[in-house]
Structures are given as C-alpha cells and as structure tokens.
A = this chain, B = another copy of it.
Amino acid sequence: MNVLVVNTKAYREGTGKNALELAKMMEKVGEEYDVKMIIAVQPSDIFMVAEEVEIDVYSPHMDAIEYGSHTGWILPQAIKKAGAAGTIINHSEHRMKIEDIFMAMGKAREIGLKTIICAGSVEVAKAVATLKPDYVAIEPPELIGGDISVTKAKPEVVKNAVGAVKEINRDVEVLCGAGIKDGRDVAKAIELGAKGILVASGVVKAKKREEVIEEMARAMIR
C-alpha cells in the first residue's frame, strides 16, 4: 500500500490539539482511499494522538539510548509505550551520527518500531539502505520547505535514489520528500518509483488541509 507521511515538525499548526485534528483528517481520508497514513508528532503529543486514532503515529526522532541515566533524551521504549508505531531517523533538521543511526536501527528492530531514515543525497540514501530501514526518505536539503518539489526540480534524484537503494536491498522502500505540494507532485513521485511521500508544510500549513490530504491520497492510488 502506498504511504503518505505527514511530519508536523514543531509547527504551531501541528502541536497539541492541532496535531490530533490533523491525525483525524488523515485517518478519514486514508480509509476512504486505502492509503497508508503516518503522522509524525512531537514526543509529548504521541500519547494523546495515538489514543484517539488508528493510523500510525511516529516520533520525529529518537536517540540511540537504552534504559538508564539519559535525562532529556528520547528513549525508544518510552515512545513505543506512549503509542508510537515508528520513528523518523536522521531528519535534515536533526541529523545523526552514523553509529547512532546504526544503534537506533537495532533498537527499533528489537522493540518493534518502524523506521524512516532521511537522506539528503543519493549517496547517503544508498549508505543508510545498508542498515535496512523500512523506508528511506530522499530529500535534497536545498528543496526542503521550498515551493518547488523534488519531483519537478530534480526528478533524477528520486529515480537514482530508488535505483541505489534497491541495488543495496530490494525490501527497503523509498519515500520522496522536499517541496511536495499537490497531487501532481505525488503522482510523479510514485511514477519515479517512490512508495510514497514525506510531507510537512505542504499539508500542515495548508489552508485547506483536508482537501490537500485528499488530493494527495487520490494521486497515490491512480
């Protein structure tokens, strides 16, 4: 099933009750169009959102730590218990050390969290694919948060990322991020070989959020 991941970042429109409201919209649209919906919310919102919706709630990050003396770091088991189904790893706003990505991947597998590792280039996408995440999200940093989608500006990046990742491991799926704004961007991403998209402001800060989600979901199943 194709996947629509919405990252609420630290946007006001994606914090607290706003996150819950958005998750409910996604749940509704996801059921209607048979698209897998994932919402990444701030750690302090995971519990509240996960209690109320059936879609997968992800943490936007987790630290490479075990139970113990790690005050103020995000514990994998804690987000899992709070209701998280998975986590983003190495987001462009929270890059991680390669050794920590490896440790976090092992921990995620051990306790049953799904993983999306972000990568800013085809080369990094290939490198992290060796660590067997569920998804690699390719997001050229210069396009993140911008008005031009990666599918328009650099379609070859998406295509090459799919090729590089699949060459390493056929089971790892590629998501397409950075600048995704509408159904056409989504359709193009799928056409280029992506399994879905990772979107933030394009949905969270949209005026008509439900319509945008619906348009994207529809584009995904064509």
Contact = CB atoms under 8 A, between A and B. Distances in A.
Interface string A76-101: 01110110100010111111111111
Contacts of A90: 97-99
Given A10-B73, A43-B43, 19 more contacts: A10-B69, A10-B70, A10-B71, A15-B67, A15-B78, A16-B78, A16-B81, A16-B82, A44-B46, A45-B78, A70-B93, A71-B200, A73-B93, A73-B94, A90-B98, A92-B99, A97-B97, A99-B121, A127-B131
A81 to B, nearest CB: 4
Given A45-B78, A45-B82, A60-B72, A124 B102 contact: yes
Interface of A: 7, 9-12, 15-17, 40, 42-48, 59-61, 65-75, 77-79, 81-82, 84, 88, 90-102, 119-121, 123-124, 126-128, 130-131, 144-145, 168, 200-201
- Copy tally for this chain in the complex stands at 4
Nearest to A87: B72
Most buried by B among A10, A120, A130: A10
Nearest to A46: B44
Contacts of A98: 90, 95-98, 101, 119, 124, 127-128
Nearest to A105: B123
A201 B68 CA distance: 10
A176 B75 CA distance: 26
A115 B66 CA distance: 26
